[in-house]
Amino acid sequence: RNTMSSPGVFPLSPALGARVGVGRASASASRTPKRAASILKAFDGSLPNAESPATAVPATTTTTVGFAVRARLEFGCSLAVVGSDDALGAWIPDDAARLTWSEGDIWIGAVIVQSVSTTEEFKLIVVTPEPGVYEWEECANRVLPVNGKQLAVTGVLGGRVDVVDEHGSVRVAAPAAPAARAPPPSPSFAHIEVPQSFNNDPPPEAATTMNSPEAWRGAQPEWIRHRDQSMEQFQMDVVKNRVPEDYVASNPQLAGAAAAIITGSRDAPSYLKKLELIQQLVGQGQTITSEKLAATSAFLRWTASGHLQCAEDGNHHRPNRPAEVSRDIFINMEQVAGLNPLYGKHGTPVSSVERQLMRHLHPWLPSFSSEFTCSVPMTRIRDIAHRNDIPQDLKLEIKHTLQNKIHRNAGPEDLISVDQMLRRLTVDAYEGQYNQDFVNEFCLFAKELKKFFNASSALERVDALRPNLEQDAQAKIDELQASMWAIESGEAGHDGILGGEGSAVMRALRASVAVRAHFGSALETGMRNDAPDESVATRQEYRLAEIALEELAFVVMARALQCSGAGVDGEQDSQYFVGMLNGGDAAFWRIAGEATVAGLRHVAISGWKGGECEATAKDLEAWCGDAAVLAQSGGSPIGTREAALRLRATLQRVRRIVESHADALSEAYGDVPTDIANAFGLPEHLGVTHVEALVRAGVPFQISRYVAPMLRAASDAAGCRPGGYDAVSLGVARGVLVECQSLEPGSLGDPLTSGPVVALAWTADGDEEVRAAGAHVKGVVLARDLPHLSHLAIRARQEKTPLAATEDASALHAARGLLGKEVILEVTPDGATLRAVTAADVAIELSAATSAAGVSSTIVATPSPTTLTSKPECLPLDSATLETAGAKATTCADLARVAARPNSAFKTKPGVFLPFGVMETVCVAAGLGQALADAATLTGVAAKSGDPNSVETACSAARALIRSVPFPPELATQIAGAFVSTTGDTTRVCVRSSANVEDLAGMSAAGLYESEIGITVSSATELGDAVKEVWASLFSRRAVLARHIAGVEPRFAKMSVFVQEMANAELSFVLHTRSTTAVAGVGPSDTLEAEIAVGLGETLASGAQGSPWRLEVSQASGEVKVCAFASIGTALMLRPSLAHLGVRAETVEYSAQALSRDELARNSLGQRLAQIGAALESEYGSPQDVEGTVVGEDVFVVQSRPQPL
C-alpha cells in the first residue's frame, strides 16, 4: 500500500478524505454525481499542475483522474488500476497505479493521463500478498475518456463503475460480471447458538495478536516539515465527531462497557485519551468482567491497528503518561489472573473465559518499563532530529513528523511512520546516501519505539529476557532459536514432515512448549498488591513473551501441517495427508499425535482447561507413541478396531476442548464487537467476524486442523457410524426439519398448529423429555454424542421416537442443508440416514412398520398407592414397602436381601428412609400445608397451558416454598445416628428420591428426580438442606412435564427420601439386561448392554458430554464386544483419604485406566456385570435397568428397576 512508490499516483491524504466525506459516502448510483463532485473538489490544488505548457506534448490531451472505488478485500491485499496508458502501467500489473485504503473500504487515488487518443482502457485488479499474483476483474475492459477534464471514477469492484466529469455528467465505464469474490449473505440464527464450524460463511483472515507494521490497517503517515495546528484541530474534530452525540441514546440496545466506550470516545481523540478511557473500565479499583474485557480489547485492538484513528488532543504528554496508564490496567488484570487456586487473595477471582479475554488486551498495551516511565523518555529521537549531518528536508520531517509528535502525543501511527522512514534510510537508499552513524542511531530508535508499542517478535522477546534466566531456561531458548533458524534459513530442507524439515519443525514445536511453560509457571499466581514497579514491568515482559510464544506456536503448527501435506489454509486436506493417516502409517501418526499434543499443552498454558488438556495429551502420547500399546494393535494406533475406537474417543475429547474454547469466546464477546464497529462506522465484517478471526489466529484452530482428518481416519478404521450418525433410538420419522437449541417446550413451534417435525437439536444434557417439545416431534437429530442409557435416550425409546446423534461436521453440514424441508429420518442398528422426501415418498403412504416406528405413543402411568405418615421420622431401609417408601426405596431394600445371600455377585450399602407424608407433615408444622397443596396444583395448570415460562414460574415457586421450610433438628439427628463411623473417618451419604411416580411403566428412567451426593452426616444443616432439595425436585420442570405427559395429576404425586452410605466408587455403571437397539419388530435380544464411567454414577445419569465405555455382552457365550471407549472429561470422585473434602471433580487420564489399556480388564468386568444382570433379571422376572459402582474387587448395586423396552 505504499502508493508513493508508484509513478504518477498521488494519494488523497487521510485528513482530506475525511474532510470531503469519502469514507462515509455511498457507492450507489444515485449518490455518484454528488460524491464525484466532492472528490474532484478534493483534488483541486492537491495535484501537480498537469497542464504546464513547458511539459505539454503536441496533440496530447492531459486528463486528471481520481479514483474512489469500494472494495472489501482480504487483509494483506490492495486495489490497483491497470490500463493502456503509461500512468496505469501499460497493462503491466507490477506498474499499475496503486490505490490507498480509506474508511468504509473506499480505495482512493489519482493519476495524470497524457494520451493522444480520446479514450484509454483500464481494469481494477487486486494485488495479493504473494509477489506477482493478481486477481483481475471478470469483465470487459473499462473505458476512460481522455477529454482534458477532471474525472472521477467511482463504483464497486466487480459491479458498476461510473466515470464522472467535473460537471457531474455520468458515464458507465463498462458492464461488469457479478463478482465471484462477493461473500454470500450471512444466515441469521439469532435464537440458536449454531457452532461456527457449521455456518457457511467464508472464513475471515486470522487476526494478528501483536502490534506490528504488518497489522496496520489505517491511513499511511504524512511527512510534514512544519506543524499545522489548524489541521491538527481539524483531525481532532473529525475523530471526536466520528460517533454522533446522541448515538447511544438513539440505540437503546447499547449498554455497559460498549456504551461507555462509544460515548467516551467523543472526548478521547488521542491514543492517551483512549487508553485512559479503557483505564476507567478495567484499571485499578474496577471490577473485571467479561463484557468489559470484550469491549476494551476490541476497541484497543482496532486503535492499535489503525481502524480507529488517533488525533491530537490539544495537550502535551510525553510517552511516560501512556506507559503509566498501561501499568495501572496491567496491574488490575494480573492481580487476579493467576492459575494457582490461592490467587483469590490478591483480588476477585476471575473465570477461565476472562483470562482468555485478558490475553486479547495485553498485547495492545504499551510497555511501561523504566526507560518509558522516566520523566523524559525516548530522547534519542530528539538527538537524531538535531543532527547536522543529514539533509535539511529530512531533518525537518523527522523533527515534526516524529520527534515533536511522539513527545507531545505518541500513538500507534508513529510506529508506521518510523517503519517507513527506516525503509527509506536503508532499503530504498543508495549506498552512501546517508551517514551510517545517523542510520545506526535511527535503527536503535526504531527498536526502542517498537519495544514501547510491544511490536517485538517472540524470538526478540525471549532473547532479551535470556541473560537474566537460569541456565536451564537459557538452554531451552537456545534450542528454540536453533530450530527456528534451521527452518527459516532453509538449512532443514524442504523434504516433508518425515524428513529433516519435519524434524526441525517438531523440534521447534517442542521447544516452544518448553520455553513458554517456563514463563507460564512464573505467572501462575496473581501478582502481589505491593509488587515494586520493576517487578511489575518484568512481569509484563514475561506475559507478552508467553503470549508471543503462543503466536509462534501457531506459525510452527501451520508449517508442520504444510509439510505434512495438509495445505496452507486448512480449508481442504490434501490427498497425501489424509492418505497417510488412513493408511495407518505409524511414523506419520506419531508426528501428527505429537503436534496435537504440543498444541494441547499450549492451550493449557493459556489457561484453558489445563488439566483436561494435559490428560488428553498423555492419552494421545500413549495411543500414538507408546511401544507397548502399539504392539497390541499391529504397530499402528488404528491397526485394530478397538485401537481405532480408543483413539477416536480421545480425538473427540480433543475436539470438544478446542470447540469449547471457540464457543466460550463467541459467547463472551457476543454482539460487543459489532456494536462498537457499527458505532464508529467501521466495515461491517470487522465486527461480525471479529471473534472468528481471533479463533482462527489461535493454536486451538491449528489443533482442529489436525483433529478433523485424524478423527475421520480413526472412525473409518473402527467402522463407525455410517453417515456419521450414532443410532440411539430406532425407527423412521417424517416431518419438516427444524433446528432448536434444545428440546424445550415451545422450541419447535406450537404442537397444536405445527405439522410433524424432525428436530435438529444443538445441545442436550441427557435429562430432556422428547415430548416436552411437543407431540408433533416425530424424530430427533442431536448434534452431540449421547450416552445410550441416559434419560433422553431411554425416553426416546419408550416413546418410539427415532433419535440419532452425531458430532460429525460433514453430517451436520448436510443436515443444515435440509432445514425447512420435509425429511425422512431412518435410524437402524447400523446408523442413520437423513434425506429429503422425494416425489415417490409423497405418492405412497409409508409402510405399516414405518408408521409404527415414526409415530410417538403416549403411555399412561398409574401412581403406586401410598400410606402417609403424620410424624417426622426415619426408619431402617430394610423395612421400606411400596406403600410407605415407593418403588425405588423398596427395591433397594430388596437388593440388600439378595446381596446377603451366599455367593452373591454384588454388595449393597446400608441406609434409612423418610416415608411418604414426612414432607407434608413438616410443611404443616411450619403453617405451609395448604400453600404446598396450592403450589402443586398450579404446576399442573401451568403444564397443561404449554407455556414454558408459566411452567418454570410455577415450579420455581413450589420448590422455593419447600426450601423455606425449617428442617426438624431431631429428624436430622435420627438420620445421622444411623451412620456411625467405626474408623473415625468422615461418613458421606447420598440422599435419594423415591417417589410414588418413579420407576413405573412409562416413567422408568434414571435421573427424573434429584439425588444429593457427598453429604456429611455430621452437619444437621447440610443433611436437612439435602433432604429438602430432594423433596423440592418433585416439582422440577422436567418432573412436572413428565407427569403431565404420563397423565398423572399433581395431587397424586408424593415423595419419600432414603439415605444411603456412599461407596468410594472407582467406576460406575448402568446396564440393561436386554439390548435396546434390537431390530424393530424382533424384540430385545439376549445381549446385555453396559455403560461405564470413572467415578460416581452421577456422571452417567447427567448425560455428561463425551462417551462412556460401552460394552455388549452375550448372555449365551459371555463374549464381550467394545462399542465405544470412554472420553468424558471429568469424573466425580470421593477419595477415602480426602473424604473430609467431599465429592470432587477430577480430570480423567484414560491411558491410566485399565479399561482403556487392557482387553482382559474389559472382558473380566463385562462378564461379571453380565452375571449380575442375569441374576437380577431372574430375581425380578423381567429385563432390568441396573445401576452400580465398582470399588476394588467389589461391585455394589444401588438400584434395579424395570428396563424400558
Q: Which residue has the cell 491497470?
A: 82
Beta bridge partners of 1016: 988
> How many CA atoms are closer than 13 Å to the CA of 366, on its beta-carbon side?
32
Q: Which residue has the cell 464508529?
A: 680
Instruction: Provide CB contacts within 8 A for 60, sequence distance 6+.
Output: 114, 115, 116
Instruction: Provide CB contacts within 8 A for 915, sequence distance 6+.
Output: 867, 868, 869, 873, 875, 884, 885, 1056
Which secondary structure element, helix H or strand E, spans residue 686, and what is its range?
helix 684-688
Beta bridge partners of 155: 69, 161
Q: What is the dihedral of CA 1173, 1178, 1181, 1183, to 10 degrees?
A: 20
Q: What is the dihedral of CA 1038, 1040, 1043, 1049, to 10 degrees?
A: 180
Which secondary structure element, helix H or strand E, spans residue 798, and what is its range?
helix 791-798
Reading the block at residue 472, the C-alpha cell is 536451564
The secondary structure of residue 907, as a DSSP letter, is B
The pairing of beta strand 803-805 with beta strand 726-729? antiparallel
Contact criterion met (CB below 8 Å) for 549 and 456 = no
Known catalytic residues are 791
The pairing of beta strand 106-115 with beta strand 151-156? unpaired
Q: Which residue has the cell 433432604?
A: 1027
Q: How far is CA 1154 from CA 1111, 1149, 1150, 1161, 1196, in A?
A: 14, 11, 8, 6, 19
CA angle 140, 142, 144 (to 5 degrees): 160
| Count of beta carbons in the 10 Å neighbourhood of residue 345 | 12
Encoded amino acid at 993, one letter: S
Q: What would the DSSP string read from start to end of 943-979?
A: HHHT-HHHHHHHHHHHHHHHHHSPPPHHHHHHHHHT-
Contact criterion met (CB below 8 Å) for 262 and 240 = no
Reading the block at residue 482, the C-alpha cell is 536453533
Of 558, 589, 676, nearest to 261 (Cα)? 676
26-31: long-range contacts (C-beta < 8 A, 24 or more apart)?
Answer: 27/70, 27/106, 27/154, 27/155, 27/156, 29/160, 29/162, 29/170
Reading the block at residue 122, the C-alpha cell is 483500464
Q: Alpha helices of 453-532 — where are they, by DSSP H?
A: 458-465, 471-489, 500-522
Q: Is 163 helix (H, G, I), strand (E, B) or coil?
A: strand
Reading the block at residue 396, the C-alpha cell is 525537518
Contact criterion met (CB below 8 Å) for 609 and 603 = yes
The secondary structure of residue 1102, as a DSSP letter, is T
Of 595, 504, 513, 506, nearest to 546 (Cα)? 513
How far is the C-alpha of 107 from the C-alpha of 157, rounded, in Å? Answer: 10
Q: How far is CA 748 from CA 709, 769, 770, in A?
A: 34, 13, 11
How far is the C-alpha of 1191 from the C-alpha of 290, rounded, in Å? Answer: 42
How far is the C-alpha of 309 from the C-alpha of 1168, rounded, in Å? Answer: 71
